[in-house]
Amino acid sequence: MSRIGKKPITIPEKVDVKINGEMVEVKGPKGHLTYSFHKDVKVEKADKQINLKPANSTTQAKAKWGMSRTILNNMVTGVTTGFMKTLEFNGVGYKAAVSGNTLTLNLGTLMRLITSFLKALKLRLTRIPLSSTAVIKNWLAL
């Protein structure tokens, strides 16, 4: 039995889910997604929840059950909050800059990557100022 597949997926207020056999369409404020699930997985909608069940008791159906639930949950999350990836650079000489649709990464002293990205993507750089005065004071005290 799949522990992931057993969990029901709750549908948020602004999300509309349509199930036509194996085809599932999810619409929300951030867009719409469609996916055709394998015939070994049954998708059922009840009130504000979606439940998935294996169509038969084969190991292949049970494996696809958990994977299908994860895919459908990611579809619901994608149309409500979107996808976000957080990267953190630590080290001397690591910098990132965005200008227009160009991302420049300085990774150390020798590596500089310049890449362009789609205008539909939103990149946001946040900087945490570091204070080195405490380190300098302690070093001078030695």
The more confidently predicted of residues 141 and 103 is 103
| pTM of the full structure | 0.68
Rg of the chain, C-alpha, whole Å: 23
CATH assignment, 3-80 = 3.90.930.12
Task: For 101-135, write each residue's pLDDT tens digit.
Answer: 888 888 777 888 888 877 777 777 776 554 444 44
User: Is there a contact between 43 and 72 (Cβ–Cβ < 8 Å)?
Assistant: yes
Can you give the residue ranges of every domain in the chain? 3-80, 94-141
Task: For 70-101, write each residue's pLDDT tens digit.
Answer: 999 999 999 998 877 777 777 777 788 888 88
